[in-house]
A and B are shown apart, each in its own frame.
Chain A
Amino acid sequence: MSLIDAVARLGRSAIDLVVGLGKAGLMLWGAIAHRPRLRKGTPLLIKQLYVIGVQSMVIIIVSGLFIGMVLALQGYNILVGFGTEESLGPMVALSLLRELGPVVTALLFAGRAGSALTAELGLMKSTEQLSSLEMMAIDPLRQIVAPRFWAGVISLPLLALMFTAVGIYGGHLVGVEWKGIDSGSFWSILQASVEWRQDIVNCMIKSLLFAIVVTWIALYRGYHVTPNPEGISRATTQTVVQSSLAVLALDFLLTAMMFGQ
């Protein structure tokens, strides 16, 4: 009976989804629901901040600069038709703060750091390093997963802020230095339209939530990998695809909640 088979397949994938969500939730709970151990935890966290945060800085800053410059150039070409090219400042700053900063940083972060996390954890799992840690009575969730999670959650908002700041200066570079918009008008109109609560705080809330989602997906995919080369490759791909889609969907929800009215 092919119809029954189809229904069964649907049911199986639904059960798999719920089981996956449960496993991911349990993994995160096991990793972060502990009293913090500052003496032992801090060196592990610093190591991961280096791998996840510092090593992502170059790509984030370069992308931020170029995206800000391209945004300013395209915006200038349209605004100059209305004689309002001074409004370039708020256009660049608000698009970066409200959308591009958090979203593009999260997408780049998923590609740069998320895939690396999954591959690293996946290989640890495949070579049974995680099981041998458990045999030595060391909880791999606390020793391996937790520092990576916290490092991701700390790094991504900082990277998003750097991206946005560099992007605004990229826009300034094109708008003021190249296209000759008056520097005072650029900044004064920009400052008149950027609000602390509405724009900067929302930018940070967005990037914090993206950080949790991207790091969580990457760690879950690596921790529950099928322990063979093909499994690791599939898990790495899934990390990038799923966290990108999750970021974009979540971004729409957050934007609707923050700016919908």
Chain B
Amino acid sequence: MLTRKIEILVGLFLLSGLAAFLVLVFNVANVEVKSGDSSYTLHAKFSNIGGLKVRSPVKVGGVVVGRVSAINLDPEKLEPVVSIAMDKRYHYFPETSTLSILTSGLLGEQFLGLTPGFMDDDVELLVDGDSIEDTHSALVLEELIGQFLYSMGSKD
């Protein structure tokens, strides 16, 4: 007759097969962006976000300080709105900071570069829910080439 140990081990085998399947389906398809206590949310509007994705990093001089938590389209202005989950440890950015979409390397992935602005008496710090007004959109190669060709043509 079967021992109980074998039955349990076979059950565990089937369960770990199922677990591997679920990991492949959900984890290779989904990772939670950490939100809640350890982060605060900022918003920023761009005219073009290029290849930016949810979970792309936000960097200050190369240091990761947050991640893109959502990308939506403003229903009225029809502009992309990017929500950023910033790490609570980095809470001292003034509201004059600028955001730009940068590319790592020539062919690499796109990320958000945050440049801290100047501090003044009447400049406040960015807090949860604030928007960053000063943004630079992604450079789209086709548009650059188009502009270049246009400026070449207008010189003649």
A residues in contact (CB < 8 Å) with B: 43, 46-47, 49-50, 53-54, 57, 82-84, 86-87, 93, 97, 155, 157-159, 161-162, 164-166, 168, 182, 184-185, 187-192, 194, 196, 200
- Which residues of the other chain, B, contact A83 by a CB distance below 8 angstroms? 104-108
Total cross-chain contacts (CB, 8 A): 102
CB 8 Å contact bits of B1-20 with A (1 = contact, 0 = none): 11000110110111011111
Answer whether residue B55 sits at the interface, using C-beta atoms and an 8 A cutoff.
yes
**Smallest beta-carbon distance A158→chain B, Å:** 3
**Smallest beta-carbon distance B83→chain A, Å:** 15
B residues in contact (CB < 8 Å) with A: 1-2, 6-7, 9-10, 12-14, 16-21, 23-25, 28-31, 53-57, 64, 67, 104-109, 111
The main secondary structure of chain B at its interface with chain A is mixed
**Smallest beta-carbon distance A39→chain B, Å:** 13
Q: Are B53 and A53 in contact (CB under 8 A)?
A: no
Q: Are A162 and B6 in contact (CB under 8 A)?
A: no
Q: Are B13 and A46 in contact (CB under 8 A)?
A: no
Of B6, B19, B55, B108, the contact of A46 (CB 8 Å cutoff): B6
| Given A46-B6, A86-B104, A184-B55, A189 and B109 contact (CB-CB distance below 8 Å) | yes
Q: Are B28 and A191 in contact (CB under 8 A)?
A: yes
Q: Are B24 and A185 in contact (CB under 8 A)?
A: no
The 4 closest A-B pairs by CB, nearest first: A83-B105, A158-B17, A188-B55, A161-B20
Q: Are A50 and B25 in contact (CB under 8 A)?
A: no
Q: How far is the CA of A161 from the CA of B23 in the complex (A)?
A: 9
Question: In chain B, what residue has the closest Cβ to A204?
Answer: B21
Q: Are B55 and A50 in contact (CB under 8 A)?
A: no
**Smallest beta-carbon distance B50→chain A, Å:** 14
Q: How far is the CA of A53 from the CA of B11 in the complex (A)?
A: 11
Q: Which of B24, B25, B64, B111 has the most CB of A within 10 A?
A: B24
